[in-house]
Structure 1
Amino acid sequence: MRVLLSTYGTRGDVEPLVALAVRLRALGAEVRMCAPPDEEFARRLAGLGIQLVPVGPPVRTMMRGTGLPSAAELSRYRTEMLDTQFAVFPAAVDGCDVLVAAGLAQIGARSVAEAAGIRYVYASYSAVNLPSPHHAPPPRPGWPEPEADDNPTRWEWDAHQVNAQFREVLNGHRASLGLPPVDDVRDHVYTDRPWLAADPVLGPWRETPGLDVVQTGAWTLPDERPLPADLLAFLDAGTPPVYVGFGSLHPSPDTARRAVEAIRAQGHRVLVSRGWAELDLVDGRADCFAIGEVSHQSLFGRVAAVVHHGGAGTTLTAARAGVPQVVVALQLADNSYWAGRVADLDIGAALDSADPSVESLNIAFKTALAPATRARAKALGTELRTDGAAVAANLLLGTLR
């Protein structure tokens, strides 16, 4: 069996497919992956013996700065990405039995699979990305938000925006492949049986007419890398610190500074993860330590709380570690959804401002660091599954065979 996996985005978009690739290879499948050409992704896949098919520009370059590209620039990027997919995917899918596409940028994948006569599976990492009357669609950068408050109308507006951006270009490519046009681009990409690679306790799917969602559990791998010696020395030198990190996103410098100030006000030490924003708030005081890329699975069990941006992977890793969370939702993609899940489950606090005040951060930390919150977070951690990638790999290959 040969499988082509495809995604485009930051580490949070790539790592789940890496986990699926490893599980598929363990079952004897051959795997190649379409992903951004960033050096860190190339190293990651090469280290696992997975062939990388580079698609699009490096993501880190696009993510520089605290602001997003303009609406016009984003529209151009999206069209160029679709053209690139039709240029790259046909050769990448050659000899494959199935194409698994994950994420919001995979507009051309199903058409290429259709032309090749192979199976196509769409996967989402968060329930909020799939149409349902139970939630509103997440914001899409560069596109206007509708004035309507009801979820069905907002999803209709979302479909309209997707069609306005992609339908003409997509159908032009489909015509060149001898395929009929599609009317609803978003539903065409998602299919009526999408997969949901999210934990059913942390991010459950609520039954929705018209969608037969297959929830496999989150796609992750064990990360047993030891922590660096200097980090271990800091951890061992005092009480558990509070971790602050925003992954690939670039928060306002004031956000990180205020978070450190609020954590210190609660009497806790601080760990600052530099991330793609290259944060470095160490001011010479012994209670604050800056770190680079480390294993969150090894680290989070040793911290008092995790402050983050609401990424699916960070939210899951912190929840599995049984540690309280403070989510500063940066209003991108599924950030607000995961912030809401943390609040709904009472395993921490959620801030709906991308630039929260010290006062609101103080209140959030009091909530997250309370003994009752820690007890709930610890209890929830025992309920979360770790077999999602294996479940998906067995399901995928089982149906193909």
Structure 2
Amino acid sequence: MEKRNQLLTFQTASKFFAYFNKLDGLNTKFIQRISTIPFIPLSENKFYAKTSQVFIPTKSSTTSQDNNTNTLDDIAARGLIDYVDYGPDANSFLLSIGVLHYPSAENLADLLIERQESYFNQNKNDTEELISAKVRVYTNCLKQLSAASNVTQQLYVEPLRSRLINKPWCLAYQSLERSDGTKHQIFKTAKPTDIYLDDDHQSAIDLRPLCAPDEPELVKLYEKFGAKWISECVKRRLVHRGKCMVTDRSKKLGDRIHHRLDMLFVNNRGESMKNIDEKRIELLRKHFVIYEAEGIECQLTFQNRTITLSSTECSSCALESDRNQVCLFIHKDISTLDYIDIATELTRFVCKKPLDALVHSISDKLSSPLETLKRRGIPVDRLLKSPEQ
């Protein structure tokens, strides 16, 4: 092994490994020692790998490779998941000292951590087609790791767990804007803690953070090792601008919310939803006023940066409150009330942890006729007996 660079080459390895396979007495100590040494040639460029960094194809995969020699994905996988085939006898030796047919979850995680930078280090010979294939191969590896994370504890054992939290290995995307105003998307690998999970797509569009791929299994995997949801990291502040006034439309909306308030934050059994602030419901009941305003402005603060959006880019309404009063401001130039926006503001005010399902439920309860809600099984008999003012 000390003279491997002179003796072991891509051309001679099969002979040496086949010879080693005939030797007896490869003890555990030897195997442990040799596993730490990169001695398996991967190419004519004299690049050597450890036993944990290469794999031997099974018969079925060998047949597949023979039938699809040098397919694009096979080429793209090189440098990330490397397979070697030095013949039956040589392969038998490699298998006896710990080389596997497929990477284990631990192997795969180590390879992604150790090789992601060099794997995506593009050179002038990389075509767009090859780069896309590399992204596809890497994404498939991440999906395999995600599946493994659900059935094995290997990834959660130290020191691998800390490496998965603190080292870059996650593939992510970011939207950027060129100097001419056109937008484009780039990909990069990063630590999970530097990546955001998109549960607020409008904020993702406006703030352009580094986001996880739109793949449910990868979102779950990244979250396990520290990726954060955008909605939990963005401070969102809606305020009204210009003159405001009480109108017939604002009065009617206020009457409807007051009339239906008792059923907005409860289930069909009349039980309060979780994480509800009862004091804030009382504020809505006793000190709630709705106005129409000339404008609505949204301020988003993210990573110590604040951007300001107009109502056409964000919400059609804004809820502002203090200890004594709650005011909902609706943009006067929006002809049709957006009940999703209204429900979103009410939910954010009342709920300690807003849920999308609750927003849609409240929107439906406010926008639908009581007769329709009754057909859906929502108890509204008391409300039908006392019509809105």
TM-score by length of 1: 0.21
Which structure has the highest strand share of the two? 2
Instruction: Say which one has the larger Rg.
Output: 2
